[in-house]
Chain A
Amino acid sequence: MRHLRWLLIPLVVLPLGLLLLSGFGRDPREIASPILGRPAPEWSLTTLDGKALGTDALAGRPYVVNFWASWCIPACVDEHPVLAAAHERYGDEVTIVGVLYQDDPGAAESFLARYGNAGYAHAVDERGALAIDYGVTGPPETFFVDADGIVRAKQFGPLTDALLADRMASILNVAER
């Protein structure tokens, strides 16, 4: 009976230690997204250059929705060339759409003039309703939607070339099937 007391110490300490340790590898700001594997939100907005854009026009092929803001520095600046390169490389198969997150269209135009405009469209989400539909907590956040309109992957924080290639694979495979 007396030995059981010693058994109790590792039984309590080990699981607690492992639980705390597992938390070190995670970003506490990143929350599990319930929209993965579900149909992407439907929307219809106006782009920076005044055209109408929405899920009706995007349907039928994979697309990427990137929430960004001109005030999101340095993360949005860092990932900007990654998205430009992606538009260049995957543009024939995948549509890339930028969505302004709590940003002024004028400020966004200056950002694009300064860091380069790759040519893909940027929608103005004036009230922020689309960001709420996607469960965005702060830019940059990027969602990858397959040709069937299902959200397959989410990137929380800035994209790198490697991360983009990884997430892109989740929507390209479905298109090729």
Chain B
Amino acid sequence: MTRHLPTIALGALLALAALSIVFSVRPGPEPTLSERAGALARELRCPDCQGLSVADSPTSSAREIRRQIDELLATGGSDQAVRNHFVARYGDWILLAPRSPLPWLVPLAFVIAGIAGMVAWLAGRTRPPPAASPLTAEERRGLREEAEALDA
């Protein structure tokens, strides 16, 4: 079983890659303007709230931002153009999720390093004692002679 683990892992990886290609290529229903506006409102931080998105906030700033999202989308703006419109005013702070992959990757790197450290530590602890080296022919003969001497 353990011998086949790398093969199984490779198979799983290939299957996942194939599935992701199928899902990305398969044409889903085109999102409507209001669906896109809702998704963008959930991505943007309400500027005068504590940790709420524009979609979840009742403040007049949030209401105005939702209005501007609708307006930008209605005039043919892309989702990225809408994000850029608000980032130009508030900086990346306005996005609830960071754009750089670093904040996602660093914790992952720490977890992997931790697991690697643990494995190394456990492997070091349960290392079997060095196997006894087989006796040389000379030692064997010596022992036999001793045994015979005792028998006699």
Interface residues of A (CB under 8 A from B): 31-35, 102, 127-129, 131-138
Main secondary structure of the interface of A (DSSP, over half): loop
A45 to B68 Cα, complex, angstroms: 18
* Min CB–CB distance B15 → chain A (angstroms): 39
Other A-B contacts than A102-B61, A135-B47, A137-B48, 5 sampled, CB-CB below 8 A, are: A127-B64, A128-B64, A132-B64, A135-B90, A137-B90
Say yes or no: A34-B61 contact (C-beta < 8 A), given A129-B68, A132-B47, A138-B48.
no
Q: Is the CB of B88 within 8 A of A128?
A: no
Chain B 10-22 interface 0/1 with A at a Cβ cutoff of 8 Å (1 = within): 0000000000000
Q: Is the CB of B87 within 8 A of A131?
A: no
Q: Is the CB of A134 within 8 A of B89?
A: yes
Say yes or no: A31-B93 contact (C-beta < 8 A), given A128-B64, A129-B64.
yes
Does B91 touch A at the CB level, under 8 Å?
yes
Closest to B59 in A: A102
Q: Is the CB of A132 within 8 A of B67?
A: no
A136 to B65 Cα, complex, angstroms: 12
Q: Which of B64, B67, B88 has the most A CB atoms < 10 Å from its CB? A: B64
Q: Is the CB of A34 within 8 A of B91?
A: yes
Q: Is the CB of B60 within 8 A of A136?
A: no
Residues of chain B within 8 A of A136, CB atoms compared:
47
Say yes or no: A135-B61 contact (C-beta < 8 A), given A127-B67, A129-B68.
no
Residues of chain B within 8 A of A102, CB atoms compared:
48, 59-61
Interface size class of B (residues with CB under 8 A): 10 to 19
Residues of chain A within 8 A of B67, CB atoms compared:
127
Closest to A133 in B: B89
* Min CB–CB distance A135 → chain B (angstroms): 4
Residues of chain B within 8 A of A132, CB atoms compared:
47, 61, 64-65, 68, 86, 89
Residues of chain A within 8 A of B88, CB atoms compared:
34-35
Say yes or no: A137-B89 contact (C-beta < 8 A), given A102-B61, A127-B67.
no
User: Which residues between 34 and 75 of chain B lie within 8 Å of chain A, taking CB atoms?
Assistant: 47-48, 59-61, 64-65, 67-68
Say yes or no: A35-B60 contact (C-beta < 8 A), given A129-B68, A132-B68, A137-B48.
no
* Min CB–CB distance B102 → chain A (angstroms): 15
* Min CB–CB distance A156 → chain B (angstroms): 12
Residues of chain A within 8 A of B90, CB atoms compared:
31, 34, 135, 137
Say yes or no: A128-B61 contact (C-beta < 8 A), given A136-B47, A137-B47.
yes
Contact for B89 among A32, A34, A127, A128, CB less than 8 A: A34
Contact for B91 among A33, A128, A131, A134, CB less than 8 A: A33
* Min CB–CB distance A55 → chain B (angstroms): 16
Residues of chain A within 8 A of B86, CB atoms compared:
132
